[in-house]
Amino acid sequence: MRNHMETTKFVVATHNVHKVKEFQRILAPLHIDILLPSQCGGENIDPVEDGETFEANAIIKATAFAKALGMPALADDSGICIDALGGAPGVYSARYSGGSDDDNNELVLKNLEGVPYEQRTARYVCVICCADPDGSYFTVRGECEGIIGFEYRGENGFGYDPLFYMDNGKTFAEISGEEKDVRSHRGKALRLLAEKLAEKQ
C-alpha cells in the first residue's frame, strides 16, 4: 500500500453522519480530510454487505468505494454483540428489527426479558478497513465492554447507545462525543487506524 500521507482526502463509505463526525474528531490531528460519498460522486455506490463478520463487511464497503472513486476509502462495520442472545444482533445490528434505532432497541429489550442484570453483558465491536484503489487494504478492530440496561437513558449518541451501560453507570447516550471517543469501540479502532496511517507518513 502506498503512503497515505501523500493525500489528505479519504472518502468514508457511509451515509451515517454520526459515524462521520466520530471519524473527523479522531483523524483531524493527521490533517485528513474526511469526505462523505455525496461530496465526491459516490452517493449511488451501495455494495451488498453480505459478509458474515464485521471484517468482511468493512472490506466489502471500503474496497468498493476505493475502486469506484479512485481514491482511498475508509469503511467501518460495527455493531453490538449480546452474550445472552448468543452474540446477536452482531453484524445485523443496524437492521435487527427491520426498522428504526428505536425499533432495534425495543426488540433487544423484548428478547432480554427476564434476563438478570449481571447476565446482560455485551460488547460493541468496530472494524475499520482502509482501502486503496489498487485493491490493497488493511483492517483494525476495537471493542468496548458493557451491560444492556433495562431502560433508556441519555439523549446523545445513536443506535443502541441509550441502552449500553458502562462500568461508571452511564450509558453511551449520556456522555459527550469527546468522552465517547476515549471509551468507545469506534474510538479505539480509529486510534489504531491513526497509528497505522501515521507510520506511513
- In order of 39, 42, 81, 140, the CA distances from 59 in angstroms are 21, 17, 20, 11
52: left (phi over 0), alpha (psi -120 to 50) or beta: alpha
Rounded CA separation 60/71 (Å)? 15
* Helix, strand, or coil (residue 153): coil
- In order of 52, 53, 115, 116, 130, the CA distances from 77 in angstroms are 11, 9, 28, 29, 12
* Catalytic annotation present for 181: no
Cell of 28: 483531524
The catalytic position among 76, 77, 132, 161 is 77
Cell of 119: 447476565
Q: Which amino acid is at 198?
A: A
Rounded CA separation 25/35 (Å)? 13
Q: Which residues are known to be catalytic?
A: 77
